[in-house]
Homo-oligomer: A and B are copies of this chain.
Amino acid sequence: MNKKRQVTTAPVSLAQVAAAAGVSVATVSRIVNGQTQRASTETAARIREVIETLGYRPNHVGRALRRRESRIVAMLSPNLDNPAMAAIAASTEAALRAAGYVMILCDTHDRPDLQDEYLHAMRSQGVRGYVLVNAVDSLALAGAVGRGDPIVFVGRRNPVGPGPFVGIDNYRAGADAADHFWSLGIRRPAVIYPSQGSSTTRDRVAGFIERMRHLGIAEDQIRRADAPGLSHLQVGYEAARILVGTGDWPSGLLCASDLMAYGAYRLAWEQSVSIPADCRILGVDDNALNAWLAPWLTSVHIPYDAFGSRVVAQLEILWRGDQPEDDLLPHRLVAR
């Protein structure tokens, strides 16, 4: 008794279609690619008939080799566990499919070495373009940028130079957060953020501080704390602990991301600090779960659902050979 499974049957090739239709592969290829003016109506119909009955589907590998371009796009993203990253991946995947592409997803864990490994692997794979979510500085990235490979940066700008960007105006988002606190009468809000901040979180904090300064609150009046770490949940918890370790809970607390807000919330819960009564927490991302699980959290909504089509639009500009401009999507503060 043999436990081996049957070998999986091979797909139909152009040659088989050609043989069955009594024409050359060239003719079939042209029909498949819609060049109807290169075959008589009857021949075309016959070929289509055979294609239908044989169930022929073009082999993308052969096509990619010959055309020297595939229909695969690589997305490199740090930790997919972050709901914001998952949202970006989901919307980009959908937009790519609509445009006739498929997406290879690579989780870089925010590590430059992994990012490099993936960039190399994707180039070998002959991908048509790259979507780099929160890219980090790395050797192969510099190489790809230098070569002029089609890359779109999402969330975080190109760390090794200029390059097409899709995201929000983080600086203004921070400023809006300041305005929100101000309109609530909160004059001494605090802010927490990750230690090894990217341009993203740095911009948010900078916009916040600057706007507060503009409203008349000196920079050194704004309490702030940061913490290292990979998970923003942990970072939020730790940074909040550091912050309130040196004083009371602030009446308003801006967190650089929703996940950080969750971390801070947990500390508040442990310390029996009532949210939002004792401390208004503000996050950024507007995670879809907030409406269900975190009604206490006001957050800056980032339209991740819209990112996908914008990313594809940028890629298509690059493929045309043009130079795209940064695409800053509108954010808005949603209070619950």
Contacts and interface: CB of A to CB of B under 8 A. Distances in A.
B72 A65 contact: no
Interface in A290-316: 291-295
A266 B292 contact: yes
A29 interface: no
Interface stretch (A46-54, A81-89, A218-226): A81-89
Query: Which among A8, A11, A102, A269 has the highest number of chain B CB atoms within 10 Å?
Result: A102
A200 B103 CA distance: 28
Contacts of A81: 83, 86-87, 90, 288
A262 interface: yes
Copies in the complex: 2
B93 A86 contact: no
A292 B262 CA distance: 6
A282 to B, nearest CB: 16
Nearest to A323: B3
A272 interface: no
Contact of A57 (B90, B97, B123, B265): B123
A291 B81 CA distance: 15
Given A5-B321, A148-B6, A102 B102 contact: no
Contact of A107 (B5, B93, B123, B269): B93
B293 A124 contact: no
3 cross-chain pairs, A with B, having the tightest CB-CB distances, nearest first: A80-B90, A86-B86, A262-B292
Contacts of A106: 93, 97, 102-103
Contact of A60 (B126, B269, B295): B126
Contacts of A87: 81
